[in-house]
Amino acid sequence: EAGVAQSPRYKIIEKRQSVAFWCNPISGHATLYWYQQILGQGPKLLIQFQNNGVVDDSQLPKDRFSAERLKGVDSTLKIQPAKLEDSAVYLCASSLRVGVEDTQYFGPGTRLTVL
Amino acid sequence: AQSVTQLDSQVPVFEEAPVELRCNYSSSVSVYLFWYVQYPNQGLQLLLKYLSGSTLVKGINGFEAEFNKSQTSFHLRKPSVHISDTAEYFCAVTYTGGFKTIFGAGTRLFVKA
């Protein structure tokens, strides 16, 4: 089965510019997660969707970050405007069921560099 | 506050030697525990998980971990490592109170010939 797809793999932008990342989860997976992984740190959950509804976005900086999951499949994460501290790898993951004990499958990530 | 601590940022070890990667977490509620591995230029993948039952959990590639509730630890072990085990390993804890998953900062395992 195909894994979690993410694009682009790399992105370099200047501060105050906008950027968007795309994620296509594993087919049939109800839950989708976006994580931010800053160099030297573990992934930090930004937002979790169940189908097309938001389950948890408590750590999403809503003044500049937004995410949507239209039709409960693909998802887009946007940053507008970007700051230097947004430089990180953005990971998308999906899981089959709603239960938190379910295994999360991760995509390869998008490495963002903000200059 | 909920937190996950991986006590070693880097662990160098010789091939065929045993290894233990340590993970401790803060807890006042029930938890689910996970270890993920991230090979160079690849995404994270699940090594093993503890949900309930036996405290010794076996995972892929010969790894195992033991849940110790009294010490709030979930250390990862392998009796004999290979060069191919060189990777970064992340401990993750899902707190059932708020169903949020928190990752540790990671331990970079470097296996030397």
Mean of the pLDDT values across residues B36-46?
89
**In angstroms, rounded to a whole number, what is the distance separating the alpha carbons of residues A16 and B88?**
32
Q: Is B3 touching A (CB cutoff 8 A)?
A: no
The residues in A 59-88 lying below 8 A from B, measured between CB atoms, are none
* Rounded Cα gap, residues B10 and B106, in angstroms: 9
DSSP letters of B42-88? S-EEEEEEE-SS-SEEE-GGG-EEEEETTTTEEEEEESS--GGG-EE
From A3, A42, A103, residue closest to B104, measured CB to CB: A42
Tokens 């270890």 -> residue: B35
- B68 pLDDT above the threshold of 70: yes
CA distances from B8 to A47, B57, B83, B89, B91 (A): 28, 21, 19, 11, 12
Tell me what pLDDT residue A96 has: 87
d(CA A92, nearest CA chain B) in Å: 9
- CB contact, 8 Å: B49 with chain A? yes
- What's the pLDDT score for residue B30? 83
pLDDT per residue as tens digits for the range B79-104: 999 999 999 999 999 887 666 788 99
Name chain A contacts of B41, Cβ cutoff 8 Å: 108
Query: Chain B neighbours among A 31-50 (CB < 8 Å)?
Result: 35, 40-45
CA of B49 vs chain A CAs: smallest distance (Å): 8
Residue B74 tokens read as: 């979930």
CB contact under 8 A, A42 and B46: no
Point out the residue among A100, A106, A107 whose CB comes nearest to the CB of B32.
A100
Judged against a pLDDT cut of 70, whether residue A100 lies above it is answered with: no
Is residue B36 exposed (0-12), middle (13-18) or buried (19+ Cβ within 10 Å)?
A: buried
Q: To the nearest whole number, what is the mean pLDDT of chain A?
A: 92
pLDDT beyond 90 at A74: yes
CB pairs < 8 Å spanning A and B: 54
